[in-house]
Amino acid sequence: MSYTVLTVCTGNICRSPTAEALLRSALDSSVKLASAGTHALVGYTVPPPMAGLLEADGVSMNGFAARQLTPEIISEADLVLASTTSHRAWVVDRAPAAVRRTLTLRELGRLVSTLPLGALDAAALPDDATRLRELVRLALLERPKHAGRAHDDDVVDPYGRSDQTYRASYDQILDALTSVMAALRA
C-alpha cells in the first residue's frame, strides 16, 4: 500500500523540495513524494546554495521544477508537511479536510522525538509506507500533550539570504527528518 507525502513552503524552491529530496533518498518506493508552494515560483529550480548542501549529502535536484499548490494536490496527499505554521494554516484554509493530516515538518520531528522507545515496532511492518502511516498516527496522539505550549515549529526561509541562513534552514529540515527516520528504523 502506498503513502503520499506532500511537502509545502512558499516558493517551492528551497525548503519543500529539500524535504522532498531528503525523504526520497531515505524512504523506499512505497512512499510517494511531492512538493509544492503556496506562492510558487513555477518552473524555477532549487537555488545553488541549497542545491549545493543537498549535493554534499549525495542528493541530486536534477529535473526539479517548482509548482503551485492547489486544493487538488492537497487532497491527493496522505500527509502534508508544511515548512511553517503559516503554510499549515494556508493548506487547511484551502482544504479543511486536511487538518488531521497536516503538520509542520518540525512539529512532526518534535512529536516523534517524544514517543516512548519501542512505540513503533518498525521491524514488524512491511514497508516505509506502513511504518510512516503508523508513526504519524502515534505522533498525532502526542499533539494534545503539547497544546498551549510555545514551540518554534517553523523552518527559516533562506531564499535570497546568506549562505549561513541556507545552512540553518537545511539543518532544521535535516534535524526534523533525522528524528522521523530514527523512529522508522528503530
What is residue 150's predicted lDDT score, i.e. its pLDDT? 79
pLDDT tens digits, 73-107: 999 999 999 999 999 999 999 999 999 999 999 99
User: How sure is the predictor about 117, in pLDDT bands with cuts at 50, 70 and 90?
Assistant: confident
Closest to 88 measured CA to CA, from 150, 10, 178 = 10
pLDDT tens digits, 148-182: 777 899 999 999 999 999 999 999 999 999 999 99
What is residue 114's predicted lDDT score, i.e. its pLDDT? 93
Domains and CATH numbers, the chain: 3-185 (3.40.50.2300)
Yes or no: say if 79 and 132 are a contact pair by the CB < 8 Å rule.
yes
Yes or no: say if 155 and 173 are a contact pair by the CB < 8 Å rule.
yes
User: How sure is the predictor about 141, in pLDDT bands with cuts at 50, 70 and 90?
Assistant: very high
pLDDT tens digits, 26-56: 999 999 999 999 999 999 999 999 999 999 9
